[in-house]
Amino acid sequence: MTRGSPLGSQTNDRSARVLAACILVTIAAAWSIGARWVLPVLAVGFVVRALWGPRYSMLARLASAVANRLGPVRLVSAAPKRFAQAIGAGCLTLSSLGGYPRVGWAIGGAVALFAALEATLGFCFGCWLYGTLAARGLMQPDICVDCVRPAGGVDSPSLPYSD
The Cα–Cα gap between 94 and 43 comes to 9
pLDDT, the chain, mean: 85
Q: Determine if the pTM surpasses 0.95.
A: no
> Quick check: helix, strand or coil at residue 71?
coil
- Name residues whose C-beta falls within 8 Å of residue 137's C-beta, 6 or more positions apart in sequence: none
> 156 vs 63, which has greater pLDDT?
63
Which position has the higher pLDDT, 4 or 80? 80
31-87 pLDDT, tens digit each? 999 999 999 999 999 999 999 989 999 999 999 999 999 999 999 999 999 999 999
Q: What value does the mean pLDDT take over residues 14-40?
A: 97
**Residue 112, φ and ψ in degrees, nearest 5:** -65, -40
pLDDT of residue 157: 39
Residue 140's pLDDT is 79
Residues 6+ apart with CB under 8 A from 152: none
